């Protein structure tokens, strides 16, 4: 059975003053998840989204947040955020000594657990933790910034991960993060991605007033 396709809007992209309008749209279309980037200025050369924005979003919507931890020692960050059951939490396996243990901790909180694979990270990490994974995020750009172009070999890496996941349990979502334009997403889906973090590259976050129009078109393209 094919996994259902979904988008996950990257909330680091809109301006803070646009959040309320966007959240209205996300709720209206009953989105399954919102992408929440956390960057520590060490693992990636940027600093992004902290605990108070997280709390504000939690007050604004019941849609689960996907906390994408781009930090060293992600195990130290879990207790800083008021993570709720059904949120998604993902991290980069090379940032911790014990990726398997951290996946277990995330699942004990009632959250969906994911690993994030950067362009230079071997996909063999996935194999060792496969029984704990609810989703995998593949970075299709180098992590840290919105507005970049795809790294070469992206489509091939999507295919290699999809094949690996299928050989174990095809219910694991494969999410792509970075430059998911409407055109790129078609090829990403063909190669096995079913979740799409949409940031600045997607017309979906151009403005809250055109969200619905572009969201519907984007999903239609992926059928």
Tokens of 50: 């902290």
Q: Kindly state whether residue 184 participates in binding ligand DX5, applying the rule CB under 6 A.
A: no
Q: Kindly state whether residue 9 participates in binding ligand DX5, applying the rule CB under 6 A.
A: no
Tokens of 40: 């520590």
Q: Which of residues 134-163 bind ligand DX5 (CB under 6 A)?
A: 141, 143-148
Residue 150 makes CB contacts below 8 A (sequence gap 6+) with 140, 141, 178, 179, 184
Q: Which of 178, 182, 192, 195 binds ligand DX5 (CB under 6 A)?
A: 178
**What is the distance between the alpha carbons of residues 118 and 177, in angstroms, rounded to a whole number?**
10
Determine whether 66 is an active site residue.
no
Residue 222 makes CB contacts below 8 A (sequence gap 6+) with 5, 185, 186, 189, 196
Q: Kindly state whether residue 182 participates in binding ligand DX5, applying the rule CB under 6 A.
A: no
Q: Hey, how many other C-beta atoms are within 10 angstroms of the C-beta on 75?
A: 18
Q: Kindly state whether residue 40 participates in binding Zn ion, applying the rule CB under 5 A.
A: no
If binding means CB under 5 A, how many residues of this protein chain bind Zn ion? 3
- The option from ligand DX5, Zn ion, none interacting with 34 (CB < 5 to 8 A, set by class) reads none
Write out the residues near ligand DX5 by the rule CB under 6 A.
10, 12-13, 35, 37, 68, 141, 143-148, 177-180, 197, 199-202
């Amino acid at each position: 059975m094919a996994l259902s396709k979904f988008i996950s809007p990257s909330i680091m992209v809109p301006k803070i003053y646009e959040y309320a309008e966007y959240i209205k749209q996300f709720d209206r279309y009953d989105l399954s998840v919102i992408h929440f980037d956390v960057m520590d200025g060490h693992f990636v050369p940027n600093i992004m989204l902290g605990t108070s924005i997280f709390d504000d979003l939690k007050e604004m919507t019941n849609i689960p947040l996907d906390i994408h931890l781009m930090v060293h020692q992600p195990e130290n960050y879990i207790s800083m955020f008021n993570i709720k059951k059904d949120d998604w939490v993902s991290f980069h396996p090379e940032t911790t000594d014990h990726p398997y243990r951290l996946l277990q901790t995330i699942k004990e909180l009632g959250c969906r657990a994911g690993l994030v694979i950067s362009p230079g990270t071997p996909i063999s990490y996935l194999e060792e933790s496969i029984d704990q994974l609810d989703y995998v995020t593949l970075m299709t750009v180098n992590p840290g910034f919105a507005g970049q172009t795809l790294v070469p070999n992206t489509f091939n890496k999507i295919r290699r991960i999809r094949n690996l996941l299928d050989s174990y349990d095809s219910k694991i979502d494969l999410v792509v993060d970075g430059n998911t334009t409407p055109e790129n997403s078609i090829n990403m889906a063909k190669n096995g991605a079913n979740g799409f973090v949409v940031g600045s590259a997607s017309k979906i976050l151009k403005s809250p007033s055109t969200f619905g129009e572009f969201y519907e078109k984007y999903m239609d393209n992926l059928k």
